[in-house]
């Protein structure tokens, strides 16, 4: 087949029934790009000899050097299947975890996916992730089991063993799908039950509970991968071959005279060919017979490999070549590398492109078959239900699913799009999925006024492009149902956008991102004068990359946040070469920490139990330390309660910091979305508006409440959940402000749950309620240890006294509690009898000095009361925090490493050196590969992947994904206190303190004061014995 002409593709674009938009998904290195090469070669775009070696869609230099894909790329291919001609818009996605956001965008654009699995490695973490992403986007997957050649050549399995192995892999993949399916059915069922419950309440009471989970009734057989369903292809992309059982069924039905349908059903499975009876029988395994798949399919491939690659038997090869009826060129058969001959034979005998593309055309849906469910999901953002959307919007759904004919239709056209890629030259591009026809000259011509709708702007598209891998073809018009590039949106789109000709179209739901951006670096240009170029470049990068975040920190630094080390490298390269085109320098990665408090330890650093007196000693110490901090406005009692008065003496707050149980912190951390919704609802309730929230979000909120209640048990937490005042920082973080003020009943944060019944009773907020919350937010945003956000801390406000607005006239009024009352009463009478009486008692001059006339005149010099209260609460929280044992929390990666047995030891070595902790280790059945799952602090992860690769000669490569925050057990402020600790650590206790090291590093970076001894060894060393 020659190079498909542009006209051909344009004509194919007009027939959406024969368009397939698909992406290739897999774990890293499972052979996506290699497979894509074979498909591209089938269109004559690259030579088939180079297929698998060129990796055509890895067009970037760094992709070629590193051998991994970093950006998705799209290409349009043509394929004739039967008497139909198809247009395939193919997107090759990266498999490395750092780029999983690229996968999210790719799945959003497609209607189907080819999931590739390595026949040796089987289902890997990213395989599960991509299957889930495809599931969440409601797109249909088909499976390619790749690298079957490795089973023959590397693992040296027999064909029978290989069959068992392949069966296992299929089971693994189906297990993932099964889990996804079950959870969906259960969820739907829960939703249905609730509706029924509501209806049931209305109608009658006698309902019999239905115990079945609903799983039995739902037919899920079409979801699973099975060769007899035609949605599985076995392949070796690098050798250019691949087949589905249809292919062999076709051959053998001719050759053996067995019906094709029978073969289709029996070629995969526990069937064997009985020579005597000349029939296909069941129960191969039980009778010890060769299954049909082994006998008729695998054996042929095995003997071919045996002849060509393993034994290099020329005669046999010739025999095979003639029996297969393929032609081999002389230079191929003489080539020193047997793989060349092998691919020459295989690519004619079982061309992988044909197997995969036929399956794609038959099994994947066309854009016309887009599920109604998917459209609804796309359009109902956040808590909204689809049927609560305006009618005009709901109408668009039919527009999106209606069959768009060739040409253009202007009624209610919806042009939906996702920004994909921004390059500087050629002009800025965005690949879009057009759901209805768009014509260039008209662009977006909605006549309605759009200015008052937030985040909505009008733009016109300047260019439309066909994406052809490394090249672009400019097009005049693109009919609906295609993947294409759009130029001229640079000014309008930040990261992603929904394009529509109708302003009624809501923005589509945000993409499901699996990776969290966690690695941050500060960036600056080499030459300071080039700052504007850098700023512009960073803006473009922000647009082009779905996952990278660009921000300016309070310090004025330009910060880039990326998902991981490899992603960071790519973003920097992009900035240098494409977007900013200047020399830049990046700081060392800034590693995030969290600050928290813990319960007082029960044992000391040498694992001796802390007795009562020693504990007293510790408390004593804390006291001593805090005494230094105490002033006349601040008071700290031995139970950790901090009382602080505002400078104008009007308000006093008492705050205590309590560590939250770990599970509760984790729950808050993972429910930030729910808390955010809760906050939005409360905000609108406070403003007197009512927000139309869906049952599902309400349910999520009440779930959260119930879970919190079950986690916060015990005397200390009695009624705590009801008393929650706010979450923080930023109002949705994993810290809690608790209202323990006696006599202050404020409306609960959960009030949206009991809307209707209690809303009227709810008491009003006290004045300055908001200031207390703001003070808490500030305190939670940066802690006292190194100004990092807090996590898992509960601040319980136990006292909050506000005196009425009349400002006290005397600065020293607090001293005499008994006289305070009188003081306020008489406050307006300057120089009253009482004051003068006292003044007489004290030396007159001293009294004057203390009274400071400007203070007496007004309290205004301290600023507004709300501001003072914010500062007071913030300070009180900080001191309360410091009164507890403080700890740092480190961000942790989970890390999955596949390694062979012989390099296992080295992997453990590297992990140990970097403070990693192995969670479990498992042997992959049938191989000598081990999967190791470990956790590793982000702070120690830089260069980890490289080190592992080097130490194991490239045999193991880790995948790092951010997982959670973990308390670092050592106390950064630790000094020896008990006898044993002195003995063990010595007076100076200068052994390594990891937490202190981290804390000081952060403090130094932020320009904070770092307490360090400069002269470490100025004294003569004494032996411990003398010291005692
Ligand atoms: N033995 C064997 N190796 C293969 C096969 N297919 C691909 N490979 C090799 O696997 C490695 C990775 O292939 P790629 O195609 O780059 O994998 P990928 O899935 O695109 O990787 P990422 O895009 O980085 O996720 C390359 O070294 C290929 O040569 C195959 O069928 N058999
Ligand atoms: Mg790739």
79 forms beta bridges with 86
With 0-12 / 13-18 / 19 or more C-beta atoms within 10 angstroms meaning exposed / middle / buried, residue 851 is: middle
69 lines ligand 1 (CB under 6 A): yes
pLDDT at 218 over 50: yes
HSE, side-chain direction, 13 A CA sphere, residue 235:
36
The residue whose CB lies within 8 Å of the most ligand 1 atoms, and thus the one to mutate among 31, 237, 301, is 31
Cα of 470 vs centre of ligand 2, distance in Å, is 14
Helices 769-781, 865-882: inter-axial angle, 10-degree rounding: 40
Cα–Cα distance, 329 to 952 (Å, whole number): 40
Give the separation between CA 848 and CA 835, rounded to whole angstroms. 11
68-111 pLDDT, tens digit per residue, is: 888 888 899 999 988 899 999 999 999 888 888 888 888 888 88
Helices (H), 282-432: 284-287, 292, 299-305, 314-324, 330-334, 338-349, 352-363, 372-379, 391-401
Mean pLDDT across 236-252: 90
Those residues whose C-beta lies under 8 Å from the C-beta of residue 843, and which sit 6 or more positions away, are none
pLDDT for res 357: 94
Ligand 1, pocket-test mutation among 26, 29, 566, most atoms within 8 A of CB: 29
Q: Which atom of ligand 1 is nearest to the CA of 36?
A: 15
Cβ of residue 38 lying under 6 Å from some atom of ligand 1: no
Instruction: Indicate if the pLDDT at residue 734 is higher than 60.
Output: yes
Interval between CA 113 and ligand 1 midpoint (Å)? 18
Between 317 and 395, residue with greater pLDDT: 317
Confidence band of 838 (pLDDT split at 50, 70, 90) = very low
DSSP H stretches of helix in 580-694:
612-629, 662-670, 672-686
Q: Is the CB of 149 under 6 A from ligand 1?
A: yes
CA gap 659, 794 in Å, rounded? 6
pLDDT for residue 225? 92
Residue 115 forms beta bridges with which residues?
25, 143
**Could you give the C-alpha distances from 933 to 101, 118, 199, 936, 958, in angstroms and in order?**
23, 19, 48, 10, 10
CB within 8 Å of 717: residues ≥ 6 apart: none
Cα distance between residue 182 and residue 747, in whole Å:
40
Among the ranges given (426-430, 570-574, 659-663), the one the predictor scored with the smallest mean pLDDT: 426-430
Q: What is the pLDDT of residue 814?
A: 38
What's the gap in Å between 68 CA and the centre of ligand 2?
A: 5
- Positive/negative CA dihedral, 472, 474, 475, 480: positive
| Confidence check: pLDDT of 36 > 90 | yes
Q: What is the pLDDT of residues 761-776, one digit of tens each?
A: 455 667 788 888 888 9
d(CA 373, CA 2): 40
Could you list the beta-strand ranges (E) of 186-277: 232-236, 241-243, 271-274
Give, using CA atoms, the residue closest to atom 11 of ligand 1. Answer: 29
Distance of CA 643 to the CA centre of its chain: 41
Cβ partners under 8 Å of residue 965, min gap 6: 594, 669, 791, 889, 890, 891, 892
Give the Å distance between the CA of 985 and the centre of ligand 2.
53
242 Cβ below 6 A of ligand 1: no
List all residues 6 or more positions away from 351 whose beta carbon is below 8 Å from its beta carbon: 38, 42, 240, 241, 242
| 146 CA closest ligand 1 atom index | 31
Does residue 91's CB lie within 6 angstroms of at least one atom of ligand 1? no
What pLDDT sits at residue 1014? Answer: 59
Ligand 2 center to 951 CA (angstroms):
24
How wide is the angle at C-alpha 278 spanned by C-alphas 274 and 281, nearest 5°? 45
**What's 480's DSSP letter?**
T
Q: pLDDT value at position 79? A: 92
Is the CB of 236 inside a 6 Å radius of any atom of ligand 1? Answer: yes
Q: Is the CB of 147 under 6 A from ligand 1?
A: yes
Q: Quick one: which of 908, 960, 928, 902 has its CA closest to 121?
A: 928
In this structure, are residues 738 and 795 in contact, taking their beta carbons and an 8 Å threshold? yes
CA dihedral 188, 194, 200, 202 (to 10 degrees): -130
> What percentage of the chain has pLDDT greater than the value 90?
12
Low-confidence winner among 241-255, 370-384, 547-561, 671-685 (lowest mean pLDDT): 370-384
Distance CA 288, CA 266 (A): 17
What number is the average pLDDT over the span 435-440?
40
Is the pLDDT reported for residue 342 higher than 50? yes
pLDDT at 926: 67
Check if the beta carbon of residue 695 is closer than 8 Å to that of residue 194.
yes
Question: Going by C-beta distance under 8 Å and a sequence separation of 6 or more, which residues neighbour residue 476?
Answer: 440, 464
CA distance 357 to 345: 20
CB distance 880 to 640 below 8 Å: yes
Q: How far is the CA of 37 from the centre of ligand 2 (A)?
A: 10
Whether ligand 1 lies within 6 angstroms of the CB of 28 is answered as yes
What does DSSP say about strands 112-118 and 19-26: parallel, antiparallel, or unpaired? parallel
The closest-lying atom of ligand 1 relative to the alpha carbon of residue 30 is 19
Question: How large is the average pLDDT for residues 443-472?
Answer: 66
């Amino acid at each position: 087949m020659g190079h498909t002409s542009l006209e051909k593709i344009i004509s194919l674009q007009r027939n959406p029934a024969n368009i397939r938009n698909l992406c290739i998904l897999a774990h890293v290195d499972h052979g996506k790009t290699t497979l894509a090469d074979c498909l591209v070669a089938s269109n004559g775009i690259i030579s088939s000899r180079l297929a698998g070696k060129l990796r055509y869609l890895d067009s970037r230099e760094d992709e070629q050097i590193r051998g991994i894909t970093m950006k998705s790329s799209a290409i349009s291919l043509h394929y004739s299947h039967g008497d139909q001609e198809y247009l395939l818009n193919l997107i090759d996605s990266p498999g490395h975890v750092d780029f999983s956001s690229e996968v999210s965008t790719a799945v959003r654009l497609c209607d189907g996916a080819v999931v590739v699995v390595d026949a040796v490695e089987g289902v890997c973490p990213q395989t599960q992730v991509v299957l889930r992403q495809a599931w969440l986007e409601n797109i249909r997957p088909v499976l390619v089991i790749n690298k079957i050649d490795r089973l023959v050549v590397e693992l040296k399995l027999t064909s029978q063993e290989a069959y068992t192995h392949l069966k296992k892999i299929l089971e693994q993949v189906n297990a993932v799908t099964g889990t996804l399916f079950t959870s969906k059915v259960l969820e739907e069922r829960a939703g249905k039950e609730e509706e029924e419950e509501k209806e049931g309440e209305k109608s009658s009471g006698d309902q019999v509970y239905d115990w079945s989970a609903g799983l039995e009734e739902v037919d899920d057989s079409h979801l699973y991968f099975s060769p007899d369903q035609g949605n599985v292809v076995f392949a070796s992309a690098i050798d250019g071959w691949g087949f589905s059982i249809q292919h062999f069924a076709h051959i053998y039905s001719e050759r053996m005279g067995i019906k094709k349908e029978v073969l289709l059903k029996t070629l995969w499975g526990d069937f064997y060919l009985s020579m005597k009876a000349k029939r296909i029988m069941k129960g191969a395994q039980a009778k010890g017979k060769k299954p049909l798949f082994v006998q008729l399919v695998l054996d042929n491939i095995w003997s071919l490999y045996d002849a060509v690659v393993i034994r290099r038997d020329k005669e046999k090869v010739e025999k095979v070549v003639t029996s297969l009826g393929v032609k081999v060129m002389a230079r191929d058969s003489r080539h020193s590398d047997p793989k060349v001959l092998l691919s020459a034979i295989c690519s004619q005998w079982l061309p992988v492109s044909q197997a995969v593309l036929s399956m794609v055309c038959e099994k994947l849906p066309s854009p016309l078959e887009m599920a109604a469910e998917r459209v609804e999901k796309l359009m109902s953002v956040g808590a909204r239900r689809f049927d609560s959307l305006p009618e005009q919007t709901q109408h668009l759904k039919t527009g999106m699913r209606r069959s768009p004919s060739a040409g253009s239709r202007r009624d209610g056209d919806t042009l939906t799009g996702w920004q994909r890629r921004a390059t500087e030259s050629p002009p800025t591009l965005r690949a879009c999925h057009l759901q209805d026809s768009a014509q260039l000259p008209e662009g977006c011509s909605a006549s309605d006024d759009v200015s008052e709708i937030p985040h909505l702007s009008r733009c016109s598209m300047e260019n439309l492009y066909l994406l052809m891998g490394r090249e672009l073809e400019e097009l005049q018009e693109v009919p609906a149902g295609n993947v294409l590039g759009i130029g001229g949106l640079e000014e309008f789109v930040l990261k992603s956008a929904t394009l529509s000709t109708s302003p009624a179209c809501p923005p589509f739901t945000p993409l499901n991102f699996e990776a969290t951006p966690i690695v941050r670096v500060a960036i600056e240009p080499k030459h300071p004068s080039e700052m504007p170029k850098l700023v512009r470049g960073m803006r473009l990068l922000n647009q082009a990359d779905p996952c990278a975040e660009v921000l300016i920190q309070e310090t004025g630094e330009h910060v880039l946040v990326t998902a991981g080390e490899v992603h960071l490298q790519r973003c920097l390269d992009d900035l240098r070469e494409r977007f900013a085109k200047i020399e830049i320098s990046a700081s060392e990665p800034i590693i995030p920490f969290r600050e928290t408090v813990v319960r007082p330890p029960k044992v000391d650093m040498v694992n001796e139990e802390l007795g009562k007196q020693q504990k007293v000693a510790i408390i004593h110490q804390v006291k001593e330390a805090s005494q230094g901090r105490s002033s006349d406005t601040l008071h700290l009692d031995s139970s950790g309660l901090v009382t602080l008065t505002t400078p104008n003496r009007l308000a006093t707050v008492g705050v205590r910091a309590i560590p939250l149980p770990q599970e509760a912190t984790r729950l808050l951390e993972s429910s930030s979305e729910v808390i955010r919704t809760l906050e939005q609802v409360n905000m609108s309730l406070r403003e007197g508006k009512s927000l139309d929230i869906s049952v599902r979000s309400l349910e999520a909120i009440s779930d959260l409440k119930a879970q919190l209640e079950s986690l916060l048990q015990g005397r200390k937490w009695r009624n705590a959940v009801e008393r929650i005042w706010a979450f923080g920082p930023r109002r949705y973080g994993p810290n809690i402000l608790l209202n323990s003020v006696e006599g202050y009943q404020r409306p609960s944060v959960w009030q949206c749950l009991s809307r209707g019944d209690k809303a009227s009773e709810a008491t009003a907020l006290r004045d300055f309620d908001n200031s207390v919350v703001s003070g808490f937010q500030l305190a939670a945003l940066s802690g006292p240890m190194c100004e990092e956000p807090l996590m898992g801390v509960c601040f319980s406000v136990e006292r909050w006294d506000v005196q009425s607005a009349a400002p006290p006239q005397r600065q020293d009024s607090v001293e005499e509690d008994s006289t305070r009352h009188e003081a306020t009463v008489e406050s307006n009478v300057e120089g009253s009898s009482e004051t003068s009486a006292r003044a007489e008692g004290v030396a007159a001059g001293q009294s004057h000095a203390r009274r400071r006339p400007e203070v007496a005149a007004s309290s205004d010099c301290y600023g507004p009361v709300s501001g003072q209260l914010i500062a007071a609460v913030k300070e009180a929280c900080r001191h309360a925090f410091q009164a507890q044992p403080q700890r740092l929390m480190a961000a942790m990666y989970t890390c999955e490493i596949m390694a062979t047995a012989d390099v296992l030891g080295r992997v453990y070595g590297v992990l140990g050196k970097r403070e990693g902790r192995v969670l479990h280790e498992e042997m992959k059945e049938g191989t000598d590969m081990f999967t190791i799952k470990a956790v590793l602090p982000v702070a120690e992860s830089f260069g980890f992947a490289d080190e592992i690769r080097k130490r194991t000669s490239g045999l193991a490569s880790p995948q790092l994904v951010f997982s959670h925050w973990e308390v670092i057990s050592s106390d950064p402020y630790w000094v020896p206190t008990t006898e044993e600790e002195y003995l063990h650590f010595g007076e100076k206790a200068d052994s390594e303190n990891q937490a202190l090291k981290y804390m000081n590093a952060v403090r130094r970076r932020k320009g904070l004061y770092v307490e360090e001894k400069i002269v470490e060894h100025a004294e003569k060393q004494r032996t411990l014995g003398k010291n005692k």
